[in-house]
Structure 1
């Protein structure tokens, strides 16, 4: 099988998709923005050919490269695994008659208001929402639904660009920050309270062959707005043994079916609270923040190879062991500025060293990144344990003990 992989070098874990495809027996052709001599040796070894383009989100640039390749060999698949690349890949597939995720599916997985219209019609419980192109449309939705509300980009990922409005004054601030006055479009939806998590799959022809569930502590919006919190997310190894996950898995399958997701990775966010289990959003790509690393460690899997096996051979190579729960705790600097040192890490290694997967502790002199930049923006530690509840305790202790100093 001949597979084109869009942007095989950035971000850094992208090269693992190239490795997985090569090890699964595919001929891998890369298209990316980096010069060929800027590829590292591993990537060069896994790729049969590489085409540089000006931009991997410019349809015409990518299409020219794909057609140049098609003039020389048959192309079975064109794969993209980064959210920003999904629509370009889908449009180029359609133009070049390459199988894979359709333009309709890719669009629905990017446009949250349209996504939820389709899913409501399929019986999937969703927060009330709408798309808006003017401040008056946002205010009208607020008058109809009430507060609190969320205002965010219709195609945003995670909490990026997301604003919570608890009253009319907050709403005006969100409208001002959203860019509506400059032609932006926003998604507006009721704020759903409850516990937040995500459900990820690898599917083959619409059938789930691998599935994983993660929990956020606390919910993402709070985590990305509050400096003193050391937020976590944890993938559970109870997904097949605790009955509560059956509803999450069933919802995920209904969502995949309604959006006509075929052979792909997926990343679906959900809430569970007073209104029951509710869908939040989905992407037809792997999760960010290297969550797949946790699935690999927790389940004795090469998850990138499993994805590649789905693409190349249409079936998984191994089953998930569910041996460990695995998670990450983000460690925020005391203030924005420059990191001056870290305290408490020796104590953590003494207490939990055998449970720690890996860690990132930026050296003194490293500029800090803002709180909202995400779970891996500054310092972090990842750990695993057979018992989910004990792992939560361990990550809590790491968050309480390790201090990242900044000045």
Structure 2
């Protein structure tokens, strides 16, 4: 099997995909921007060949790279990055070279929030009503129908980038000026008191869920960015049955195969959920590592097994919580890395400086810490986020 990994070097924790694919007997071919010497021995030894391009955004240049690898190694069986930024490039390449997996037309339902909403309804999963906004007339009409506050997001896009909370007429006026009708937006009512959570997992070549998980954020991402708040999220030991039911319906309706998925929900105060977004890839950052720590598995190896026609192997170790938590350089905390290790010992599974691309959103210093109970989760979050008390100046 010939497998082309797009951007095998970044993010660094995804290099394990190349390593485990090679271990499963796959010929792993890389296409990326970094010089070969920068890859390091671990990744170099996992790749049969690496083709460096000047710019992965230049699809013609990347197509020439794939064509060269096709000519040298024969038909390509898979092209994948597992990275949101390159999903469209992956699909375009698959279409060009007739490779298994999602093609460009398949991505419409996972790139446009308005299309996602249609499929959530088809899956009989609760949603809040939304409106497509192309003009200022659409904007004011939608706000009159939905009322304030609303969340305004680009219809095509992911994450909290270019997202606004509109709570007042002044917010609407400012948004209108910054937006300038430059792109299509999607408006939906702001969910008061909702807890942001997920239903995540992996489907096999038949579309069956072989791994599932869920995590909960301490604060919604929009508030996190705007307020530069302390960040934590928790991989759950067990998935709430209602969330699991909704998540499975959505996965079946979207019909993806041999892929990771990451579905965002708000949990309401009444215990129900509303679906927000379907992401046709892994959750970002170090989340896959947290899954591994929480469930004592290796999803990199499991993915390689599925791709090569093997089975997903369940762990026989009891699940744990895993807390992903950060500290920001801008704040003075009561406990540093040494104190965190002293307090939690070998439950600290991982600590790492965050890449600049994630630091503004999530923080600068990342820790992954296992816990057995909700009480231990609360203890970890309080300990890591406890700040030094400011001494008032005497006048």
TM-score normalised per structure 2: 0.89
Whole-angstrom CA distance in 2 between matches of 1:180 and 1:386: 50
Structure 1 counterpart of 2:380: 394
Structure 2 CA distance, aligned partners of 1:7 and 1:320? 33
**When the two structures are aligned, how many residues end up with a matched partner?**
385
Comparing 389-398 with 6-15, greater Cα deviation is found at: 389-398
Give 3-state SS (helix, strand or coil) of 1:46's partner. Answer: coil
2:60 is aligned with 1:60 = yes
Residue 353 (structure 2) pairs with residue 352 (structure 1):
no
1:15-37 per-residue CA deviation (whole Å, 9 max, x = no partner) reads 12111211222111111122333
2:118, 2:250 → 1: CA distance? 12
Are the aligned partners of 1:225 and 1:372 in contact in 2 as well (CA < 8 Å)?
no
* Alpha carbons of structure 1 residues 57 and 266: separation in structure 2 relative to 1, 3 Å: farther
Note closer, same or farther for the CA distance 1:400–1:361 as it changes in structure 2 (3 Å cut): farther
> Cα distance 1:150–1:97, how it changes in 2: closer, same or farther (>3 A)?
same
Within the alignment, does 1:258 sit opposite 2:253 as a pair?
Answer: yes
Q: In 2, distance between residues paired with 1:148 and 1:231?
A: 24
Alignment of 1:58-137 (within 5 A): 58-72=58-72, 73-137=74-138
* SS of equivalent residue, structure 2 residue 177: helix
In structure 2, the residue matched to 1:202 is 202
Q: Which residue of 232, 242, 247 maps to 2:242?
A: 247
1:166 is displaced (CA, Å) by: 1.1
Look up the match of 1:373: 360
**Cα distance, 1:212 vs structure 2:** 0.8
Unaligned runs of 5+ in 1: 240-244, 336-340, 363-367
User: Which residue of structure 2 aligns with residue 224 of structure 1?
Assistant: 225
Residue matched to 2:191: 192
Aligned residue for 1:85, secondary structure, equals helix
Is the contact made by 1:150 and 1:189 (CA closer than 8 Å) also made in structure 2?
Answer: yes
> 1:34-65 CA deviation, whole Å, 9 max, x = no partner?
23333222111111112222332433232222
**CA offset digits 1:144-199 (Å, max 9, x no partner):** 1111111122333322221111122212223333x334x22222222123111111
**Shift in alpha-carbon separation, 1:388–1:153, aligned structure 2, 3 A:** same
Q: Which residue of structure 1 aligns with residue 304 of structure 2?
A: 308
Rounded Cα–Cα distance in structure 2 between residues aligned with 1:320 and 1:218: 32
SS at match of 1:267: strand
Once the two structures are overlaid, the 10-residue window that deviates more, 95-104 or 288-297, is 95-104
- Which residue matches 1:150? 151
Structure 2 spans left out of the alignment, 5+ residues: 391-395
Matched with 1:365 is none
2:16 and 2:163 map into 1 onto residues whose CA distance is 30
Deviations for 1:60-110, whole angstroms, at most 9, x for unmatched residues?
232222222222312111112110100111122122111112333323212
Match of 2:393 in 1: none
Indicate the larger mover: 142-151 or 383-392: 383-392
What is the aligned partner in structure 1 of residue 273 from structure 2?
A: 277
SS at match of 1:210: strand
**Matched residues in 1 for 2:316 and 2:190: separation?**
34
Structure 2 SS opposite 1:381: strand
SS across alignment from 2:209: strand
Contact 1:272-1:278 within 8 A present in 2 as well: yes
Task: Flag the 1:361–1:403 CA change in 2: closer, same or farther, 3 A.
Answer: farther
Shift of 1:13: 1.7
How big is the shift at 1:400? 1.3
Residues 333 and 387, structure 2, Cα contact 8 Å, conserved in 1: no
**More displaced, 229-238 or 321-330?**
321-330
CA contact (8 A) 1:309 1:317 kept: no
Partner residue, 1:338? none
The answer as to whether partners of 2:333 and 2:385 remain within 8 angstroms in 1 is no
Deviations 1:248-306 (A, max 9, x none): 12222222222221110111111111572111102111110211111111111112111
CA distance in 2, matches of 1:164, 1:370: 23
So what's the TM-score if we normalise by structure 1?
0.87
Residue 312 of structure 1 and its aligned partner are, at CA, apart by: 2.1
